[in-house]
Each structure stands twice: as structure tokens, then as C-alpha cells.
Chain A
Amino acid sequence: MVSRYDLTLGLPHTNRRGLWEPLLLMHAGHYLWQSIASAIGRPLSELRTLSGGEVYAAFFYIEERIPESTPIESFGLDATIRFSIALRSFKNIAVEGLVSFDRVEALGDTASTHPFIRFGNIFITPVQGNSELRVAPPANADFSAIPPLPNDANPYQLTREAKETGSLGLIGDTWPRIGDVFDFEYDIDVDRDTNGAGLVYFVNYITFMERAERAMFEARLPSRGERSLTHRRTAYYGNADPRDTIRVRLAVHQDPHRADRVGLRYTIERQQDGHLICLSEALKAFV
């Protein structure tokens, strides 16, 4: 079962360079949850646990693969992008969404590799404010239309391993680090950064990383040019309270095989208790 959604880009979807990664994820993620709601036959806002508790949909893993022939920024104003979404689920607890996308006119080219995003999603309920998220399977939805997700294919395995090793596997052990780890603090903006569930929206963690990255390059590597994402993995372990301060720790590693590419490893923690919220690794090429 594949769902398709078309998006024609306008100014709200772009920044100065074209389509922007956080805006891409925002729309792809929204289409994903629309396709899940369609598959289970119920709007997500109506989902409840066995005991009647509210259930929210959360992202716990994201992988983006962007061919260098089709950088995100190459999608400009008035381009129509088609998103094709295939789902698998582990019972009524976790859902994997594979989202491939490209310009409508490019999709007929079967020889080309199209960009794709893999989302790992889980149903949760907040505990103690937003400081802890607890798995909360909805009891009032039918997941039988979604093909099963085998346990060993569940991206949960990757997130768990990354929490133990600190690595998501994109940056080689031998890649030399450029300079010291860069620390960046950010005060959550209670209006701009939250979503309708009162949680810090998952996409905004990417924007926090981007802010840290920009600050680091401007301070330490001002002569290096703009960067374009080719591959990113992100694992989420918790959430911040809307009045928290978070700390982004950024390490930049040189790809020893390509002078024009770096690997970036981001760690996001809540400042007040050091709780790990998010790990991310990205490969970016200088453009």
C-alpha cells in the first residue's frame, strides 16, 4: 500500500537556497502521519490507550538519503514534488515509513536514484511534563491494513545501539576531527518551537543543529562554503520542555576520501539535567 501526495513549492517551503531540509521533513512527516491515519481509519487526535489516555505520534528515527545529483536545494519555487509513502508497523506501537520523493517529471526516469527518507515512528504519552516520553499503544485503531515490520528491521535497533556507542555509523572511526567540539546553547521558544501536542516539534531539533553548525563554521571555518546534505541519520531519545535550554555539541570530521565532504556529529542534551535528547550524524558536501 503506497500513498502519494503532491506538493508544489512556494515561498513558505523554501529559504534563500531553495527547499530547506527542515521544511522538507515537516511536510514529509505530515504526509506520513496522514497516510498512517488513513491506513488505521482514524484521525490521530482520536487515538487513546486502553485506559483512555491521550496518545501522541512521535518520531524516534529519521534517515535521509539525498543523491548528489538531486540536492535538496535544487527543488525551487513552483517545482511539484511527489511523495510516495510505504508503511510497515510493529503491532500498534511503532510504524516505519519509507518516503521517496522527486519532481513529478523525474519519477518516470527509472534509471535515476530518487531521494528518500526513512522515518521510525512510535506512539507515546508524555510523563512528568515533557521530560519523559512513555510508549503508549493506541487501543482504538486497526493496524491490520499495514504490513508487519520485522523486529530486526525496526529502526529502534539502530537508535538503541547509537545510544550505547554514541555513533550512528555514518562517520568512520578514522575520520580526523577538525578542531575541538563546539558547544552551542539554545533557549526553546515556547511559541515557535512547539507543536499542537505541546512538545518541541521534531523538525526543530534539525534547526537547532543547523544554528549550531552555522555558528561553528562562521567562528572557526569562515572560508569554507555552503554545505549540502547527502546523508543524515537522527535518533531521538526524549524531548525538551518548552521552557528548557538545550545544548548542542557539534563535532566536525573530515572525510579522508573526499576533501569536499565532512561528517558532522551532533549531540543534543537538556542543559539542566544533561539528559540526552537527540543524536544525529550528517554527511555534507561543500558546494
Chain B
Amino acid sequence: MHDVVASFIRSRFRSSLRGGALQNDDPLFSTGVIDSFGVLELIAFLEDTFRITIDTSRHDLGEFDSVDRIVDLVRGARQGR
């Protein structure tokens, strides 16, 4: 799951990564890898790919701030958390 998420971020936000490596614990928003509006695309991708529903009224956007945190969120959504 980490690879799928990281691959999406690398391909979709390639220009802001500027060729740099992406570690699973790298912050995504504070470093500008994903601009704030990019969370729209990220959520749509996660829901389509992992067939989950993310209730954004229950999650802080900080929960999308690294590959690790995104994977935790997806696992939680799969378990109904």
C-alpha cells in the first residue's frame, strides 16, 4: 500500500518534488510537495483505488501529511474507523 500511495504522489505531484526522493515519513503539505488544494485529488485517488469512503468531517488534513499517515488513514477507513 505504501508503494501505491507513494507512486501516485510521485507521478501526480512530480513538479513539486523536483526530482527529489520521497520517504514514507516526509511531510507533504509543510514542504509544499502537495499544495493544499491537492488534497482533493489525493482523497479522490484513495477512495477510487482502495474502495473506501473518507469522511472528511472526521479527519484533520494533517492525517494526510505523509505516506505513512495516509496508509494509516486508509487502513482505518477499511476497518470502519
List residues of A whose CB falls within 8 A of some B CB: 49-51, 60, 90-94, 122, 124, 132-141, 151, 154, 156, 159-160, 164
Query: Is B22 at the interface (CB under 8 A from chain A)?
Result: no
Q: Determine whether the beta carbon of B15 is less than 8 Å from that of A164.
A: yes
Given contacts A137-B57, A139-B58, A154-B40, 10 further A-B contacts (CB under 8 A): A50-B59, A92-B57, A93-B56, A94-B40, A124-B36, A132-B36, A138-B57, A139-B57, A140-B57, A160-B37
Q: Determine whether the beta carbon of A90 is less than 8 Å from that of B40.
A: yes
Q: In the A-B complex, list the 5 residue pairs whose CB atoms are closest, starting with the nearest.
A: A151-B44, A139-B57, A135-B36, A134-B36, A137-B56
**Least distance between A193 CB and chain B CB atoms (Å):** 23
Inter-chain CA distance A124–B37, complex, in Å, is: 9
Contact of A49 among B29, B41, B60 (CB under 8 A): B60
Query: Is B1 at the interface (CB under 8 A from chain A)?
Result: no
Residues of chain B with a CB closer than 8 A to A94's CB: 40
Inter-chain CA distance A136–B64, complex, in Å, is: 13
Q: Determine whether the beta carbon of B40 is less than 8 Å from that of A151.
A: yes
How many residues of chain B get a CB closer than 8 Å to chain A's CBs? 18
Q: Determine whether the beta carbon of A137 is less than 8 Å from that of B37.
A: no
Residues of chain A with a CB closer than 8 A to B36's CB: 124, 132-135
Inter-chain CA distance A164–B35, complex, in Å, is: 13
Query: Is B39 at the interface (CB under 8 A from chain A)?
Result: yes
Residues of chain A with a CB closer than 8 A to B43's CB: 91, 93
Q: Determine whether the beta carbon of A93 is less than 8 Å from that of B39.
A: yes
Contact of A51 among B29, B39, B44, B60 (CB under 8 A): B60
Q: What mask results when residues 9 to 46 of chain B are scored 1 for a CB within 8 Å of chain A, else 0?
A: 00000010000000000000100000011111101100
Inter-chain CA distance A122–B58, complex, in Å, is: 18
Query: Is B4 at the interface (CB under 8 A from chain A)?
Result: no
Residues of chain B with a CB closer than 8 A to A140's CB: 57
Residues of chain A with a CB closer than 8 A to B57's CB: 50, 92, 137-141
Inter-chain CA distance A14–B28, complex, in Å, is: 46
**Least distance between A135 CB and chain B CB atoms (Å):** 4
Inter-chain CA distance A92–B57, complex, in Å, is: 7
Contact A122 to B37, CB < 8 A, known contacts A50-B58, A92-B57, A137-B56: yes
